[in-house]
Structure 1
Amino acid sequence: MSDEDELENIRRRKLEELKQQAAQQQHAQHQQKQYETKKYHIMRQILSQEGRQRLENIRIVKPQFAEQIELQLIQLHQSGKLRGATPLPDRIIKKSINKLYECYSYSLISVK
């Protein structure tokens, strides 16, 4: 094999690798978008307008905590523990957020 053929093979392999990486990134982005869309629709079912606004306000200050709240609410919703109570009244959301915040604060303190 000549040097030119070897270089061409290397270029082809590199191009294939780049194509595969691009396809994987595109697939991951598509999955992330599907997840976000599904989460959005579930949160619209679970939370009232006030609750969604409260969560967005929390997200501005503590994005990780807002994500934890969403995950907790989605788990409760999917396990059927929120049936008949949705959208959740604001007072229940406040109480739940306060309880979660206590746990969240405790976990941040004890990790030292």
Structure 2
Amino acid sequence: MDDENLEKIKEEKLKKLKSQMEQEGDEEKRREQLEQQKKQLLRQILTSDARSRLSNLRMAKPDFTENIELQLIQIARSGRIDLPITDEKLRKILKKLQQDKKSINIKRK
């Protein structure tokens, strides 16, 4: 009886682990889809120079850049800014967002 109970418990735990792994896989797929949608939207609303600036900023400050990207998408969707967002417009937006924080000087060669 003990061996049978042990086997049942093992099987139940294995089933739980499999379902948990499937759920984690689904979440990962959703995250990837959302990331792809975000990238596509940013390609539509930013010029290539602005995207380049944002990707450079992402290397230095990934969390800050994530927030900026979401804010840019919201600004574009609400129609509060003319599209596409150029590098010059992006620099102005970054300066406005950084006024309360430590100053960042962004120079482009």
State TM-score, norm by structure 2.
0.87
Residues 42 and 69 in structure 2, CA contact (< 8 A), matched pair in contact too = yes
Aligned 8 A contact 1:65 1:104 in 2: no
Partner Cα distance (1:104, 1:36) in 2: 27
Contact 2:76 2:83 in 1 (8 A): no
Amino acid at match of 1:87: P
Matched, 1:3 2:2: yes
Q: CA RMSD in A?
A: 1.5
Summarize deviations over 1:56-107 as a string: whole Å, max 9, x none.
111111111111110100111222323xx2221221111001111224549x
Q: Which has the higher helix share?
A: 1
Counterparts of residues 45-56 of structure 1 (less than 5 Å): 45-56=44-55
Contact 1:46 1:77 in 2 (8 A): yes
**Paired AA for residue 92 in structure 2:** K
Q: Distance in 2 between matches of 1:99 and 1:67?
A: 16
1:13-32 CA distance string (max 9 Å, x none):
11111111111111110110
Stretches (4+) displaced over 4 A: none
Which residue is equivalent to 1:41? 40
Listed as ranges, the gaps of 5+ residues in structure 2 are: 104-109
Q: For 1:30-109, what aligned pairs fall within 5 Å after superposition?
A: 30-82=29-81, 85-105=82-102
Partner in structure 2 of residue 15 of structure 1: 14
Q: Give unmatched runs, 5+ long, in structure 1.
A: 107-112
Q: Secondary structure at the match of 1:86?
A: coil
Mapped to 1, the partners of 2:79 and 2:66 lie a distance apart of 20
